[in-house]
Every structure is written in structure tokens, then in C-alpha cells.
Homo-oligomer: A and B are copies of this chain.
């Protein structure tokens, strides 16, 4: 399709890069400039529209600090973080010599999460939650051999939509813990059935969601990191099949394989629900393609 605009312009901008540009940066900037220019031409972007985008980005930067990354959230609501997660995971999986899969932890991970004993209860001071007995086995994804001494770390928001570090009314390290698998590779503990919550929507990401006629909610989920010597660390989130936001996560993180079922549990005074989730780990020197 012939352009109505100067056909040499984009090439000139790309070719302005000098010889000392690193090969990867040259590749990325070439692609970025080409796509940004194509976007502007295809949609005949006006000065006012472009300037509105500039102001949105400047607003995101002004709002960001050590506790909040609004630029990241802007990317999240257009699916970019989840897409990059998929790309990175696939690359790491395909590269047999990759020491670990790159992991997206999300903003509420804490490096100093305490170890707890299997059977412990993660929940303190939450009146309106549905108590759940979560358990499972950590195994080698191929041989199904149980992995003894694996670490399973979990964290979740409370029923008010807040993680403990966001909420002065929760005790330190509430709703998070690390568990070590037993002689059969099993872990088990009590937690909440997770509940949906909105991403912060008082900034440019919220404004963009509103303009796109979208809600800010994430479906209920539990964060998991599993590690074991000789295996690739696994970072993931699991989602409640019955959540109303399952098919329209505001940050597009749901994958079919990450949907789980909370089922009724009988004869347990501590929990009315049960969740079984087995973690299948990939040896460091293998690919999970199968």
C-alpha cells in the first residue's frame, strides 16, 4: 500500500543510529520505531491525540515511586506484561542451557517470607473469608517422582483486596508463607479462598481502563513459587474457576492450565473448602515441551 506520507521518513530515523549501537538495541529500536510510525500513519494520529498520550506517560512517571510502578501498570492493562511473560517463559524453556526461567513476581512478593510448618494456617484476623485446605505434591513433570524437600512459597490478598504490606490492619506476613515438602513430596496448609480485587485505578492506567470501558478487577488468585535443587524455579498464579473475572482479567494473566477448582471439604473444623494443586517441575537441563 503506497503511503500518503514521506516514504523515506522512517528509514531515515532508523538509519540515524550510529555504528556503536549494540546489535540488540539496534534490533529493538528498529522494530519499535517502525511499529510506532506505522501506528501513527495507519491511524492518522493527530497532534492533539499524540500529546494526550505524552501527557498520560508523563503522569505515569510522576505517580511512580518505590511502592508503585504506574508505567508497569499501563503496560499490564494492555496485556504487555503477560505477553512478555509468555515470550520469556517460552525462550527459557527452549534454551536447554538456561539456568532458570525468568520469573515475574508481581509487586507483592516479599523476599523475607517466613518458613511455616505443613498444616499451619496462613490466615490471621480475617472474619469474612472462606477457609480452604490447600495441598498437593511436587513432582518431576516427566518421571512423576515426588520431590522431597522442595520449597513451595505462596501469597495472597485478603478479602478486602489488600496484601498485608498494603494494609496496616493485617499482621506482618499475613497470608504468605514458605512450606517444605515432606517425604512424599507433599505440602499442605490452610489459606483463604482468594477473592477478586481491582488494580489501583486512580492514575493513568485507571483512566485508560475507563476510556476503554473496562473494569480494573483481577480474578481471585494465589501466587506460587516452587523451587528444588536441580529443577527450574517455577513462578505462577492459580485462579479460581468460579471467579466472575476469570475471562476478563484486567491484566490478562489467566491461562487455562492455571485454573483450579475449590471443592467442598467434609469433617474439617478448620476449612469448608479444599484445593488440590500438584506442582510439576522441569529439571534444569530439560525442556518442558511435550
Which residues on A are within 8 Å of B, measured CB to CB?
Answer: 4-6, 9-10, 12-13, 16-22, 25-29, 31-33, 35-51, 54-55, 57-64, 69-72, 75, 78-88, 90-91, 102, 104, 211-214, 248, 252
Q: Is the CB of B61 within 8 A of A18?
A: no
Q: How far is the CA of A72 from the CA of B53 in the complex (A)?
A: 9
Q: How far is the CB of A65 from chain B (nearest CB, A)?
A: 9
Complex Cα spacing A59 to B62, Å: 8
Q: For the complex, would chain A's binding face be called helix, strand, loop or mixed by DSSP majority?
A: helix
CB nearest neighbor in B for A102: B47
What's the number of copies of this chain in the assembled complex? 2
Chain B residues closer than 8 Å to A104, beta-carbon distance: 47
A252 CA to B16 CA, complexed, in Å? 10
Is the CB–CB distance between A84 and B10 below 8 Å? Answer: no
Find A21's partner among B16, B18, B48, B212 (CB 8 Å cutoff): B212
B212 touching A79, Cβ below 8 Å: no
Q: How far is the CA of A71 from the CA of B35 in the complex (A)?
A: 18
Contact of A69 among B40, B54, B214 (CB under 8 A): B54
By a CB distance below 8 angstroms, the chain B residues around A46 are 84, 87-88, 91, 102
Question: Do B78 and A33 touch (CB < 8 A)?
Answer: yes
Please, how many angstroms separate the alpha-carbon atoms of A71 and B84 in the complex?
23
Known interface pairs A46-B88, A47-B84, A252-B9. Does A79 touch B33 (Cβ–Cβ under 8 Å)?
Answer: yes
In the docked arrangement, what's the CA distance between A4 and B94, Å?
11
- Tell which of B21, B31, B64, B81 touches A50, judged by Cβ atoms closer than 8 Å: B81
